[in-house]
């Protein structure tokens, strides 16, 4: 945590060490640094920046720029603070290191470490003000993250999670930052944004809510439910057929007793005979319809049961060693319907 100073401090900008950096880049860096210090409400520029920090340490007999050493440099400069550092170039990357030391506080009040700018000389010169602002104002960046779509991804800036988009993030380090949007399904999108002081940078991502995959369809269940329904209809049909068969047998017995060997009946018994015949016809129809529907339902239900068991074996359970797969096309179902005068028997057989 750097110390704070409320009065206007005079700042001496020392000569930075440079490696592989074009002179026009360094000249612009010094110009921007001086102008920003002059514009700062608590700082102003002091003369005496023609030497490097190494020159001053040599005069003071110091070996490293530690606070203990730097405090003694106040005898060699006319200012409250000094700014020093280095600039290095490798490829198209410029790296800036800068520190501001306050003699009265006895410590560093501002610092940037390995602040990188990428691009050609023209791009670097355009971004140099961000380096100076980062040194003088610290984390003063502001970023608005916009989202296209219905998603609300988590947002990370330089690896630190900041919340869910859309959102506005403040107190970010100035300069180049890496923004990552990570969806709930693990997908990521990355953007690099340059942040400047007193400007709200914007970045946008396109994200949709993750759609849950539809549940897998169990083929066995697809056949099993219809099989149960159709088989139930078949059983109900057989029950109706059995009731009709039983009723018909009872009526036939009653008719036999009614006739009782007579070759003719008198007029008073005609109505009874007609009712008896009508009931026998209805029972006979009930038996035929019941057995027909029952047989058809049981056969169809059995076929569906075979398919359900075959699908379940092939799709829901892992294959067992030395197991012979079931071939549904070779499966056979057989029914035995054995109606009697006063009873009914039903049998079903499955062969694979």
Residues 129 and 198 in one domain: no
| Per-residue pLDDT at 321 | 46
Share of the chain above pLDDT 90, in %: 43
Q: What is the distance of C-alpha 6 from the center of its chain?
A: 49
199 and 182 inside one domain = yes
Looking at 137, 165, 187, which one is the last position of a domain?
Answer: 137
- The pLDDT value recorded for residue 218 is 64
User: Please, what's the largest Cα pairwise distance for the chain?
Assistant: 152
Q: What is the CATH number of the domain that holds 198?
A: 2.60.40
Within this chain, do residues 226 and 297 fall inside the same structural domain, yes or no?
Answer: yes
* Domain boundary pick from 109, 137, 165: 137
* Domain range for 97: 9-137
* Chain segment 237-261, per-residue pLDDT in tens: 788 778 877 877 887 777 777 666 5
130-177 per-position pLDDT tens digit: 999 999 999 999 999 999 988 899 999 999 999 999 999 999 998 889
227 & 191 share domain: no
Instruction: State phi, psi for 202 to the nearest 5 degrees.
Output: -130, 145
Q: Name the percent of the chain lying above pLDDT 70.
A: 79
Confidence of residue 37 (pLDDT cuts 50, 70, 90): very high
pLDDT at residue 323 is higher than 50:
no
Provide DSSP, 64-115. S--HHHHHGGGGTSSSSEEEEEEEEEETTEEEEEEEEEETTTTEEEEEEEEE
42: helix, strand or coil? coil
Higher pLDDT, 1 or 261: 261
Q: How many domains does the chain have?
A: 3
**Residues in CB range of 311: below 8 A, 6 or more apart:** 218, 219, 220, 222, 223, 328
Global pTM value? 0.54
Q: Is the pLDDT of residue 335 over 60?
A: no
């Amino acid at each position: 945590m750097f110390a704070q100073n409320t009065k206007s401090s005079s700042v001496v900008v020392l000569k930075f060490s440079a490696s592989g950096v074009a002179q026009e880049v360094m000249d612009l860096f010094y110009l921007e640094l001086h102008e920003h210090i002059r514009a700062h409400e608590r700082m102003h520029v002091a003369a005496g920046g023609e030497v490097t920090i190494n020159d001053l340490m040599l005069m003071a007999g110091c070996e490293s720029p530690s606070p203990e050493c730097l405090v003694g440099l106040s005898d060699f400069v006319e200012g409250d603070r000094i700014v020093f550092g280095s600039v290095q170039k490798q490829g198209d990357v410029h790296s800036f290191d800068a520190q501001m030391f306050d003699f009265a506080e006895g410590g560093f009040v501002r610092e940037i470490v390995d602040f990188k700018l990428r691009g050609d000389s023209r791009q670097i010169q355009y971004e140099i003000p961000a380096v100076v602002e980062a040194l003088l104002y610290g984390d003063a960046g502001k970023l608005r993250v916009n989202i296209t779509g219905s998603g609300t991804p988590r947002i990370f800036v330089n690896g630190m999670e900041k919340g869910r988009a859309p959102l506005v993030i403040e107190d970010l380090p100035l300069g180049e930052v890496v923004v990552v949007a990570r969806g709930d399904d693990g997908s990521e999108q990355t953007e690099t944004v340059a942040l400047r002081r007193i400007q709200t940078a914007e970045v946008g991502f396109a994200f949709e809510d993750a759609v849950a995959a539809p549940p897998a369809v169990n083929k066995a269940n697809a056949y099993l439910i219809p099989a149960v329904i159709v088989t139930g209809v078949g059983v109900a049909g057989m029950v109706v057929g059995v009731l009709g068969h039983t009723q018909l047998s009872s009526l036939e017995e009653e008719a036999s007793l009614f006739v009782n060997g007579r070759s003719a009946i008198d007029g008073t018994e005609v109505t009874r005979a007609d009712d008896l015949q009508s009931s026998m016809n209805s029972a006979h129809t009930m038996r035929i319809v019941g057995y027909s529907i029952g047989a058809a339902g049981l056969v169809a239900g059995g076929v569906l049961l075979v398919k359900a068991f075959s699908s379940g074996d092939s799709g829901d359970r892992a294959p067992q060693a030395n197991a012979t797969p079931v071939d549904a096309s070779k499966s056979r179902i057989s029914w035995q319907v054995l109606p009697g005068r006063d009873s009914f028997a039903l049998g079903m057989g499955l062969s694979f």
